[in-house]
Structure 1
Amino acid sequence: MLPGHSVKTNIGVFLGLAVAAVIYYQPFGTLSPVYNYIIAGFGLLAHIWGCYSYVIGKGKSPVLTLIGVAPLALFLSGVIPGFHPPTYCVVLIPIGLLVLVLLGDSTAAERRQAWRSSLAINRDARQENSGMGIIAVVAALALALGGWYYYHQNLPVTEQEARKQAVERYPALGVRDSALNREFIARYNRLRATNKDYFKDAGWPLKLAAESQAAVDQTQAKR
Structure 2
Amino acid sequence: MINIVQSILSTCIEFSTADKATIISGALPAFATICGFVITVIVWNNNVKTRRADYISDLLDRLHNDPLIKDTVYLFQYDENWYEKEFYFNRDLELKVDTTLSYLSYICYLKEKKIIRKKEFNLFKSMINHAASNKSTLRYFYNLRHYSKVYSSKVTTKAKHSSKRTNKKFTESFTFKYLFDYIKKHKYIDMEKFSKADLTDEIYYQILKRT
Fold shared per TM-score above 0.5? no
Higher helix share: 1
Interval of TM-score (by shorter of Structure 1 and Structure 2): under 0.3
Scaled by the length of structure 1, the TM-score of the pair is 0.25
